[in-house]
Chain A
């Protein structure tokens, strides 16, 4: 259940330091420079290669794949493949499910991380240390441990989905959006991240507000929350990316519920439909559609917090 690392967000601070490094040792820089950019470019080429292969492949028509030998570059790019993806596959359904599930989980994770992180950073109460230990320790448990037990806990929820009071007889919450979202509404990593950010905010602000008679909720909502906006942006981005791409759990609970499948799961479980050679381009176009929204959101949001002081907040929280 671990999310990608926030270092990426906090990394921008290093750019200035890099410039300073670049200004010294002109001779050595020249020799090392060529090697450095050659290495980076080679790596970048390898990073892009499979994506380029996908976009080219999506545009191949039957004439290309049945040619002897099969043509790599499409003789006549079949741009219509992207319309076919939506016409011939339940793409709209998958897309909508991905948006719904990712949206619900991301909203829930941000809400629970912000509140719990705030409580752990800014209040003193009995049990705080143990709860924090739980938050840190729980991150060590790999997700594969939870698949079987959570599947059956959801299956045996009493009085849901045709179950009787003992949780027997029906399918419980399986086959509902709840089964897709509930196991992810808290992210240990997100709670940890938000706690670190709140730790970096001085207590004086809270105390001043208390002296003015502000309620605990008002202090949280009007004073503390606006201060951690960059952290919220970071967490939103990582939750979104992780859950848009989530595969194993969603596949496990929607295998027999096609109406709930998300993009990666739908494409995976429809393998059989892509078997024939001229359906490969359809598969490649569908994959492109599953990837693009994340890249768009990432580039849009990245600008948002590159401009903020996320890096400083992250450092301050340590």
Chain B
């Protein structure tokens, strides 16, 4: 034993400055690319700033304008909510249904690779691929409907259908990932529990309700909340697929504030808008978390 190592007896206590050296990149990054931008963003939201000039302090006026006078802002909040809600309400049960089939299927590797394909694809390609498929006149879907004598809807040019389309594409994009999370949770269920349930005379439905669903509840809560957060802040798909149109029907708040910043050059108001959206997401996620946890008791 050497005298250089005096305190090795219990636990990882030695190392001196070593952990700080290992953590140095993270700490610098946390300051420069996390804390500083957040602080900058909050400060900007109290200013009026076109980056060609100097920012001027306006107090809470940007918040007041967005919340009380900007109808477009509220319309985008509603769109954001419809998009995220549609995505979660249809996407999560669908992923769960697929997971039930997937987790007991043969050839898992192949199914997994196919369902994971959209996750590997860049969002621009996804938007354009679906633009081609959903094209009002020459798209594959409306051609197929036409072949059996039906007139397909205007998927991307009708305001209501455009929202339906972006929600469906978002579900398609994320289904594989959520399916695999649910499937991992289902695989974690011990076979012995099912055997015990069968011995006790529980039928398939009762087993599902009383054994399977409670066990995968943590995964369900996780997928529901993360999907909701993703949906509320997701705008790259919409930007590339519909550009927020037609006539603002698919314009979500994140896209609205992005444009406010980089097209209208209103940095202060855009920062305020982004912070309001963040607050809405935080509040709704907390509510969901509470609701999903309460029900499990």
Is A307 part of the binding interface, using a Cβ–Cβ cutoff of 8 Å?
A: no
Decide: A145 and B184 in contact? CB cutoff 8 A: no
Decide: B32 and A144 in contact? CB cutoff 8 A: no
Query: Could you tell me the distance between the alpha carbons of A152 and B262 in the complex, rounded to whole angstroms?
Result: 11
Query: Could you tell me the distance between the alpha carbons of A4 and B121 in the complex, rounded to whole angstroms?
Result: 12
Given A17-B187, A283-B128, A299-B113; A116-B25 close (CB under 8 Å): yes
Residues 196-254 (chain A) with a chain B CB within 8 angstroms? 203, 206-207, 210-211, 213, 216-217, 220, 241, 244-245, 247-248, 252
Query: Could you tell me the distance between the alpha carbons of A287 and B133 in the complex, rounded to whole angstroms?
Result: 14
Residues of A at the B interface (CB closer than 8 Å) are 2, 4-5, 7-8, 10-11, 13-15, 17-18, 20-22, 28, 35-37, 39-40, 43-44, 46-51, 53-54, 57, 70, 72, 111-112, 115-116, 118-120, 122-125, 128, 131, 134-135, 138, 140-150, 152-153, 155, 182-183, 185-186, 191, 203, 206-207, 210-211, 213, 216-217, 220, 241, 244-245, 247-248, 252, 255, 263-265, 267-268, 280, 283-284, 287, 290-291, 294-295, 298-299, 302, 306
Chain B interface residue count, CB cutoff 8 Å, equals 101
Residues 103-117 (chain B) with a chain A CB within 8 angstroms? 103-106, 108-109, 111-117
Given A53-B129, A124-B11; A142-B103 close (CB under 8 Å): no
Which 10 A-B pairs rank lowest in CB-CB distance, beginning with the nearest? A14-B187, A149-B37, A123-B19, A119-B22, A245-B122, A216-B18, A142-B233, A50-B129, A119-B19, A149-B40
Q: Tell me the interface secondary structure of chain A in the complex.
A: helix
In the complex, chain A residues whose CB is within 8 Å of the CB of B282: 140
A44-B115, A118-B22 given; 13 more Cβ-contact pairs under 8 Å = A5-B180, A51-B117, A112-B29, A119-B23, A131-B27, A140-B282, A144-B277, A153-B32, A186-B25, A248-B235, A263-B122, A287-B128, A290-B124
Q: Tell me the interface secondary structure of chain B in the complex.
A: helix
Is B101 part of the binding interface, using a Cβ–Cβ cutoff of 8 Å?
A: yes
18 examples of A-B residue contacts, CB within 8 angstroms: A4-B177, A11-B180, A11-B183, A18-B104, A18-B108, A21-B191, A48-B114, A49-B140, A144-B257, A145-B278, A148-B274, A149-B38, A152-B267, A186-B33, A207-B8, A211-B1, A241-B120, A294-B121
Residues 250-284 (chain B) with a chain A CB within 8 angstroms? 254, 257-258, 261-262, 267, 270-271, 274-275, 277-278, 281-282
The tally of CB-CB contacts under 8 A between chains A and B is: 270
A145, A220, A264, A298: the one contacting B120 at CB < 8 Å is A298
Q: Closest Cβ of chain B: how far from A251's Cβ, in Å?
A: 9
A14, A191, A216, A267: the one contacting B183 at CB < 8 Å is A14
Q: Closest Cβ of chain B: how far from A222's Cβ, in Å?
A: 15
Q: Closest Cβ of chain B: how far from A7's Cβ, in Å?
A: 5
In the complex, chain A residues whose CB is within 8 Å of the CB of B23: 115-116, 119-120, 131
In the complex, chain A residues whose CB is within 8 Å of the CB of B25: 111-112, 115-116, 185-186
Q: Which of B19, B187, B258, B282 has the most CB of A within 10 A?
A: B19
Query: Could you tell me the distance between the alpha carbons of A140 and B105 in the complex, rounded to whole angstroms?
Result: 35
Query: Could you tell me the distance between the alpha carbons of A125 and B82 in the complex, rounded to whole angstroms?
Result: 46
Decide: B240 and A268 in contact? CB cutoff 8 A: yes
Q: Closest Cβ of chain A: how far from B84's Cβ, in Å?
A: 12
In the complex, chain B residues whose CB is within 8 Å of the CB of A15: 108
Given A115-B25, A206-B12; A40-B181 close (CB under 8 Å): no
Per-residue CB contact flags for chain B residues 15-31 toward chain A (1 = under 8 Å, else 0) read 11011101101110110
Given A11-B187, A18-B103; A291-B125 close (CB under 8 Å): yes
Decide: B122 and A153 in contact? CB cutoff 8 A: no
Query: Could you tell me the distance between the alpha carbons of A241 and B133 in the complex, rounded to whole angstroms?
Result: 24
Is B57 part of the binding interface, using a Cβ–Cβ cutoff of 8 Å?
A: no
In the complex, chain A residues whose CB is within 8 Å of the CB of B275: 145
Given A11-B187, A134-B30, A148-B270; A115-B22 close (CB under 8 Å): yes
Q: Closest Cβ of chain A: how far from B248's Cβ, in Å?
A: 18
Decide: B236 and A50 in contact? CB cutoff 8 A: no
